[in-house]
Chains A and B, each alone.
Chain A
C-alpha cells in the first residue's frame, strides 16, 4: 500500500477509497482471566471492504462485537467519524449508523421478509409514539418513504419473490440474504458482516460474494467483514487484518498478508515457542 495517505488511497482495481471512518486504538478485551483481544489497533476507511480474518478462537467475533457495542473493551479507544466514542449500548451504536449481521442469523422468524427489512429502517423513522398511534400525516409519509427504500434493497438483493413469506420458512442461504437486506436497509455508514459465508455451499458463496461487491460498488457502503474462508476473503477485500490468539499479526492488502510469514505460520499451525 504505497499511496496510502490520510485522504485515502486507490485500490488495485482502481476504486478511490476515502479517509478513516473508524479507528480502533489499542483495544484490549478480557472475559475474567481470558484475554480475547490484546492491544489491537486498525482503521476502517470510507468505501473500502475491510476483512478481519484468523483461525478459530482468534478473537474476530469479539472484535466485531466490540465495534457493534455488544462487548465493551477494558482498554483502548474507538474513534468513529472523527470523534471518540463513549461506551454505548448496541442499539445506540446501530442508531449511529453501524449495521450488522450475525454468524448464526438473528432474524425475526415470525415476521415476513418485508417486515424484517422494514425494521432496518427504524433509525430513520422519527415520528413519535402518538403520531404513530393515531397514524396521520408525518407518520404515514414516513412509512411510505421508508417503504420505497426497503423495496429498492429487496430488488437489489433479488428477494422480491419472498417478500411476504415468513422468514421461518426460508432456507438458510436466503435467510442470510434477508439479514443482509435488513442491515442494508439502514443505509449504514459501516456495514459489519459476521461470517457472511458460514454454512453456505459454493453456489451460495458466489452469490453472497457478488452481492457484497455490488453493495459496495452501487451504494459505496463501507464494509467490514469477518470470515475464515481465506479464498473468499482474498478475492473480496481491499485490506485485511489478521488476528491470532487475540493479537494482530498482519495488516495490509491481500497480497501483503498472503506473503506475511506470521500469517502463514498461524494458518499452517506452526508451534509457538
Chain B
C-alpha cells in the first residue's frame, strides 16, 4: 500500500478522535437547547470552570486564595492535602449541580417566556462572569490535570498496523479513552431522554411550558436537572481537554469550535452532535493534509466554519435537526 494512503488513513483516524472531543462540547449545547430553547454560550466556560474546580479540589487549593490573602493579609494557598481522583470528581459534580441551581435561581427563573435572543444574551453574560469567577476562585495560571487517564502512543495499535501495513499508526491512548467515554455518554443520554420519566418530562418542557405544567411537571426541577447534566458533560469535556492540553483559559475557546459542529449536526439532535463532531474532526484534518500544503497551512483554523457556512446555505436545520416548518 502506498505510504501516502496509509498516512491519509492515520489522518482520518486522528480526525475521528479529535472530532469526539468537539462532539463532547457540542453535546452540552444540545442538551440545554433541547430542554429550554436556550443557546448556552457559556458551555465552553462551564467546561473550563469544571476542569479548574477539579484540579483545585484534587490539589487541595484554597478557593479564593488571592482574594482572602489580599483582604486578610494572610498567605494561605493550599490546604496541604490531596483529594483522591474519584472523590474529587464527585465533589466537582456537586459544585456543577450547585452552579446549575444558582444559575436557574438567579437568572433563568426570571426570564421565563422571554425571547430566545434575550436568553442568549444572558448566557453571554454568564460566560464572562463565570470566566472571571473561575479566575478569582482558582487563579489564572495554567494547571496540569492528571486524573490517571492513559496518555501517549498506543503501542498495541502501532505494532498491529506495522505488522499489517509495514507502517505503524500513531493513535493517542487519551483519544481512545475519550471516544469510549463519549460513546457511553451519548448512549446513556439518548436512553435517558427517550425512555425515562425525567427524560420524557425534559422533552415535554422543551416542547411546551404551559402543557408541561398542566401535566404536573415542575419547570424548575427539569431546568436544574438539565443544567446539571450540561455541567456534567462540561466536566467530562473539561477532563479530556484539560488532560490533553492543560487547564488554561483558552479552553473556553473550544466552545467556538462546537458552533460549526452544531450547525452540521443540528442543534436539537444528540446523535447529530456526535456525527457533526466527527465530520468536522475528520474534515479539517484531511483538508489540512491534502489542501493545506498548497495554501500555506493553518487551514484547521477556518475549515470548520466554511463547512458550516456551506451547510447553512443548503441544509439550515443540520443533518439531524428537526425540519423547520412554519404553518401559516
> A77-108 toward B: CB 8 Å interface, digit per residue (1/0)?
00000000000011110110001101000111
Beta-carbon contacts under 8 Å, A107-125 to B: 107-111, 115, 118-120, 122-123, 125
- The docked-state distance in angstroms from the alpha carbon of A262 to that of B212 is 39
Determine whether the beta carbon of A89 is less than 8 Å from that of B213.
Answer: yes
Using A108-B208, A111-B204, A119-B204 as known contacts, say yes or no to A182 and B196 having CB atoms under 8 A apart.
no
Determine whether the beta carbon of A109 is less than 8 Å from that of B215.
Answer: no
Asked if B214 is an interface residue, CB under 8 A from chain A, the answer is yes
Using A107-B208, A108-B207 as known contacts, say yes or no to A119 and B196 having CB atoms under 8 A apart.
no
Q: Which residues of B contact A139 (CB under 8 A)?
A: 196-197
Q: Which residues of B contact A68 (CB under 8 A)?
A: 214
Determine whether the beta carbon of A102 is less than 8 Å from that of B214.
Answer: yes
Using A95-B216, A129-B225, A139-B196 as known contacts, say yes or no to A122 and B201 having CB atoms under 8 A apart.
yes
Determine whether the beta carbon of A110 is less than 8 Å from that of B215.
Answer: no
Q: Which residues of A contact B210 (CB under 8 A)?
A: 70, 102, 106
CB distance from A70 to the nearest CB of B (A): 8
Instruction: Tally chain B residues at the interface, Cβ within 8 Å.
Output: 27
Determine whether the beta carbon of A94 is less than 8 Å from that of B213.
Answer: yes
Asked if A135 is an interface residue, CB under 8 A from chain B, the answer is yes
Q: Which residues of A contact B188 (CB under 8 A)?
A: 133
> A35-53 toward B: CB 8 Å interface, digit per residue (1/0)?
0000000000000000000
Q: Which residues of B contact A157 (CB under 8 A)?
A: none
Asked if B159 is an interface residue, CB under 8 A from chain A, the answer is no
Using A100-B214, A106-B214, A122-B216 as known contacts, say yes or no to A132 and B198 having CB atoms under 8 A apart.
yes
- The docked-state distance in angstroms from the alpha carbon of A146 to that of B5 is 56
- The docked-state distance in angstroms from the alpha carbon of A122 to that of B212 is 10
- The docked-state distance in angstroms from the alpha carbon of A184 to that of B238 is 45
Determine whether the beta carbon of B214 is less than 8 Å from that of A127.
Answer: no
Determine whether the beta carbon of A120 is less than 8 Å from that of B215.
Answer: yes
Determine whether the beta carbon of B207 is less than 8 Å from that of A186.
Answer: no
Q: Which of A91, A110, A183 has the most CB of B within 10 A?
A: A91
> B249-267 toward A: CB 8 Å interface, digit per residue (1/0)?
0000000000000000000
Determine whether the beta carbon of B211 is less than 8 Å from that of A91.
Answer: no
- The docked-state distance in angstroms from the alpha carbon of A102 to that of B179 is 46
Q: Which residues of B contact A135 (CB under 8 A)?
A: 191, 195-196
Residue of A nearest to B216 (CB): A94
Using A135-B191, A135-B195 as known contacts, say yes or no to A109 and B208 having CB atoms under 8 A apart.
yes
> A122-145 toward B: CB 8 Å interface, digit per residue (1/0)?
110101010011010001001100
Using A106-B208, A122-B201 as known contacts, say yes or no to A133 and B192 having CB atoms under 8 A apart.
yes
CB distance from A93 to the nearest CB of B (A): 8
Residue of A nearest to B34 (CB): A110
Asked if B219 is an interface residue, CB under 8 A from chain A, the answer is yes
Q: Please tell me which one of the listed residues B197, B203, B218 contacts residue A91 in the complex, with CB atoms under 8 A apart.
A: B218
Determine whether the beta carbon of B203 is less than 8 Å from that of A111.
Answer: yes
- The docked-state distance in angstroms from the alpha carbon of A143 to that of B198 is 12
Beyond A118-B200, A125-B197, 14 additional pairs, beta carbon < 8 A: A90-B214, A99-B214, A99-B215, A102-B211, A102-B214, A108-B208, A108-B211, A108-B212, A110-B203, A111-B207, A122-B200, A127-B197, A135-B191, A143-B195
> Closest 3 interchain pairs by CB?
A94-B216, A106-B211, A108-B207
Residues of A within 8 A of B (CB): 68, 70, 89-92, 94-95, 99-100, 102, 106-111, 115, 118-120, 122-123, 125, 127, 129, 132-133, 135, 139, 142-143, 182-183, 186
